[in-house]
Amino acid sequence: MRKACFIFAAILISVAVALPVVSCAPKAPTQEKFVTFLSITDLTGPTAGLTFPLAEATGFAFDNVNDKGGVKGVKIKHIVVDHRYDTARAVSAYKRYRTEPKAFWVFISITAGVKALAAQMEADKLPCTTPADGEFQAKPGWIFLAATPYQDGFAAALDWMGKDWKAKGKSGMPTIGYMSWDSQYGREALRGGQEYAAQIGVKLLKPEFFPPGAADHTVWLSRINDAGADYCYLGGVDPTQSLILRDAFKLGLTKKIQFVSEYWGLDENVGLKLHPEATEDAVIVSPFTRGDEARKLPQIVELWSKYGKGPITDMKALFPGGILMVKYLIMALEIALDEVDYDKISGEPAYKAMQTITGTDAGGIGGPCAYSPTSRKAGAMVKFYRVQSGKNVPISDFVPAPDAVSLHKSW
């Protein structure tokens, strides 16, 4: 009995000695929660005027979210890859990074690359945002648009031209030229846009396509002029539009033809600085607020003051579009994290969540969010600006853009 007591006492002493050691043992560090956003974009190629400001804004917005603790404690890892406007590079980058831990969304800026990867992304259940290719609105799937579809923006511009024509006291409908890059992107606005032109009775001339980076546009401008254009719609990414207007100015066409730029042209800090005289009085149709209007928006001021380099006047025109894209991504991620545990977060819950934010206010950057189970366009409205003394000056409020996408039947 005495021996048993001694053994029991020895055990108690051993436990007592061990407890402080156990309690003082260092705890394993808590693993930081994160998700991965993959941006496959053009930082050095011909569309960098569009995508670099978007990438910059996206980075600022993610930094701001992370600095505040993330989304429900989950931070966002941002991987950026330069595809240089090369489809093969874009495809290769996606295949390399698609299995990154906790990948929940991807941004791809090149139209041909998105189309090449669409089936793969659906199989991977990894949703994607791309600028404004209407095909993905026509066939809703895993690819979302960052803006109003190209077709719908072109249709809104056609409406504006018709109204402007009549406001000038002209009868009938105007003759309209179309110039853009010789690429899938350059043709996209016409897939539904041509049908809309026929529907409203404007004469749309044979489109003129030219290679990205063309040094001179005289040949195509001359054909547009010889065909009797009253207006001309310009696709491409700045400085493309400003270079076209430079050549049009030399030919004396800027006083004869009213030029209207698509979304990605005539940036105050790009084309308007390069060719101020030639770009004067040109019009821009835009899915996002631009210029000094945008620079006064609270969310823009906050992010630029925290992370921007230089004065806010250096902000490029498409910076607000990147802020809006992240706003919707954060909302979708927050909803997804309410629906599933962190260990189950992936592209699929985010994809489902993005379709539920219909009608969300864009905070002055654009019209209300138009994502839904049947819609992949971020918005359904556009705004018009005119170049005056090197500035994008608003000449309209946000107006509904016609649904030209639905008019095209051969997808």
- 336 falls in which pLDDT band (50, 70, 90)? very high
Q: Does 131 score more than 60 pLDDT?
A: yes
Domain range list for the chain: 34-148+294-379, 150-286+384-407
CATH number listed for the domain at residues 34-148+294-379: 3.40.50.2300
Percent of the chain exceeding pLDDT 90 equals 91
How much is the mean pLDDT over the chain? 93
Q: Give the angle 161-166-168 at the CA atoms, nearest 5°.
A: 95
Average of per-residue pLDDT across 322-337? 98
Asked if 62 and 22 count as a contact pair (C-beta separation under 8 A), the reply is: no
Average of per-residue pLDDT across 244-268? 98
- 349 falls in which pLDDT band (50, 70, 90)? very high
Determine which of 38-52, 60-74, 96-110 has the lowest per-residue pLDDT on average.
38-52
353 vs 21, more confident: 353
User: Tens digits of per-residue pLDDT, 385-406?
Assistant: 999 999 999 999 999 999 999 9
Q: Does 209 score more than 60 pLDDT?
A: yes
Q: Would you identify the CATH topology of the domain 150-286+384-407?
A: Rossmann fold (3.40.50)
- Adjacent-strand bridge partners of 107: 39, 129
Residues 6+ apart with CB under 8 A from 393: 291, 385, 386, 387
26 vs 255, more confident: 255
- 30 falls in which pLDDT band (50, 70, 90)? low
Determine which of 21-25, 158-162, 281-285 has the lowest per-residue pLDDT on average.
21-25
User: Tens digits of per-residue pLDDT, 360-388?
Assistant: 999 999 999 999 999 999 999 999 999 99
- Residue 31's pLDDT is what? 82
Q: Does 1 score more than 50 pLDDT?
A: no
- Residue 29's pLDDT is what? 53
Asked if 333 and 104 count as a contact pair (C-beta separation under 8 A), the reply is: yes
**Which residue type is seen at 350?**
A
Token pair recorded at residue 218? 């005289």
- 220 falls in which pLDDT band (50, 70, 90)? very high
Q: How far apart are CA 173 and CA 201, in angstroms?
A: 7
Percent of the chain exceeding pLDDT 70 equals 93
- Residue 21's pLDDT is what? 39
pTM of the model: 0.91
Same fold, 34-148+294-379 and 150-286+384-407: yes
